[in-house]
Structure 1
Amino acid sequence: MAPRNQEREARASRQRLRDYQARQTMHSSKIARRRRDNILAIIVVILVVAAATVVQVFYFSGGPGTPSPVPSTTAASTETPAPTSTANSAQVPDPAGAEGRTWTGQMTINDIPLGIQLDGAAAPQGVANFISLSTAGFYNGLTCHRLTTSPGFGVLQCGDPNGDGSGGPGYSFGPIENAPAGDVYPAGTIAMARQGGNASSMGSQFFIVYEDTTIPSDAAGGYTVLGQVTSGLDALKSGVVDAGTKDGSTDGAPAVEVKIGSIAVQ
């Protein structure tokens, strides 16, 4: 009987060894799978961050709303890039018109009143231009033609008489003024749109930042910050931004028609 018991114990021992080896193999497989899954997760995060950065650079490579060429009486000329010279033409309002002071007022968009404040000391050329166009009624009735809705990248762009990102007041100007350090544009920022890499391509188009947004600088620098929305931003978000874009994308024409009623400053 002893040899049989020894044989049974030997078989049981071999089975236990096989079971242990199988468990070890499975355990090693799980560890390898977890390691592989962690590496894939890290790669996905890196790709998402890189894609978000590329989208921002691409979107603003032509300035918010793509290039804004100087319009003229001929349709073909709307495709002509703005001049790159830093010398402004006589048509551009004198920066002295900003008076080196803070301006306050109200802008209405879709009957939503927005309190605004402009910094004439920090951005004299941009503010003088904005005040001149506003006082002349240039902006009244113009559309806000572009909306971005990516998380952390919220911009509503307005002020193009053509309504498609190609128009302007008939002139362009520079330089870039009051661009923020770190390329961070806080919610409520009002800034000028321009062509990518062209500091002297600003005209009438501007954008309102409705949530904290980082806009990478290009070869020309950042974007001229005119001032800020001091009230009404939440109403603008609920009345315009929350409706999204017409095609459901994160960058396109607003789903609801968006028009500037008037702009008054003092």
Structure 2
Amino acid sequence: MAAVLIMVCLAAVAWLVGLTQPQGGQGVATAPASLVTCAPPPPAPTSHPTFTSPPPPSVAADSAWTAVLHTTCGDLTLLLDGGRAPRSVASFVTLARAGYWTDSVCHRLTTRPAPTAFLQCGDPTGRSTADPGYDLPLENVPAGVTYRVGDVGVARGDGFPSTSGEFFIVHRDFTVSPGAPVYSLVGRVTSGLDIVQHIARIGGEDFRSDGPPFQSISILTVEVRRR
């Protein structure tokens, strides 16, 4: 009887450990879901800044940048690579400084069986209809078009170079299928990935594999600084 009880306890521990692992088993350290708490989302903004042209690449100044996303579920810190993606990072820095993402909801989560695996943010309307007024060219596409846990990319749709204002954070490695859109990489998450993994673990609204996350998360403000 004692041996049976020990086996049951070990199985329960293994199950609990499995719940705290990222999808895809990538071995990225994450905090238990109980340590991530989210506040109610703020009202959506009624307007957002727009521009007549994209910022020049010189804004990124061939430099690395730190971006801190203050969200309703905690802070995420990103390391942006202005050397490899100067146009995309210049755009990110410009939009952050302009308050483009203030109080904006992260409106899209993709999970299995969707071909991608990311949390998408950056649209002030929350409906993927906002536009800062310019497009961006592709740059810094990863070898093998494989995107890794913690990567930060610029979102885009079929037929568009980029959505400019929207970006995503990868929660499970995925490789883009032949003929599907590929994405510019702007950097990586250096802290706060547990928040994204928490959102991904809970899943999509109405069990959707591509739609709003069940656990709402909004960006309150974004701070950027050159390293």
Matched-pair contact (CA < 8 Å) for 2:169–2:196: no
Partner of 1:223: 183
| Consecutive unaligned residues in structure 1, runs of 5 or more | 1-72, 74-88
Matched-pair contact (CA < 8 Å) for 2:118–2:171: yes
- 1:245 pairs with one of 162, 184, 204: 204
Partner of 1:37: none
Partner of 2:5: none
Mapped partners of 2:71, 2:52: distance in 1? 31
SS in 2 for 1:117: strand
Deviation at 1:197, TM superposition (A): 3.4
Which has the higher mean CA deviation after the structures are superposed, 133-142 or 107-116? 107-116
Deviation at 1:236, TM superposition (A): 2.7
Are positions 1:92 and 2:63 aligned together? no
Are positions 1:112 and 2:74 aligned together? yes
Mapped partners of 1:173, 1:153: distance in 2? 22
SS in 2 for 1:222: coil
Which gives a bigger RCO, structure 1 or 2 (Cα 8 Å, sep 6+)? 2
SS in 2 for 1:234: helix
Matched-pair contact (CA < 8 Å) for 2:52–2:134: no
Structure 1 length as normaliser, TM-score? 0.61
Paired amino acid for 1:158: C
Partner of 1:122: 84
More helix by share: 1
Mapped partners of 1:217, 1:126: distance in 2? 24
SS in 2 for 1:211: coil
Equivalences for 1:156-195 in 2 at 5 Å?
156-169=119-132, 171-195=133-157
Equivalences for 1:40-59 in 2 at 5 Å?
none
Deviation at 1:120, TM superposition (A): 0.3
- 1:232 pairs with one of 186, 189, 192: 192
Matched-pair contact (CA < 8 Å) for 1:192–1:225: yes
Structure 2 length as normaliser, TM-score? 0.71
Mapped partners of 2:67, 2:123: distance in 1? 21
Paired amino acid for 1:116: L
Matched-pair contact (CA < 8 Å) for 2:73–2:195: no
The two structures, once aligned, show a CA RMSD in angstroms of 2.1
The runs of at least 4 aligned residues of structure 1 exceeding 6 Å deviation read none
Higher Rg of the two aligned structures? 1
Paired amino acid for 2:223: A
Mapped partners of 1:137, 1:178: distance in 2? 25
Mapped partners of 2:103, 2:94: distance in 1? 16
Deviations 1:140-180 (A, max 9, x none): 110111101216842111111221122221x1222101011
Partner of 1:68: none
SS in 1 for 2:129: coil
Mapped partners of 1:212, 1:231: distance in 2? 18
Partner of 2:166: 205
Matched-pair contact (CA < 8 Å) for 1:197–1:218: no
Mapped partners of 2:157, 2:141: distance in 1? 15
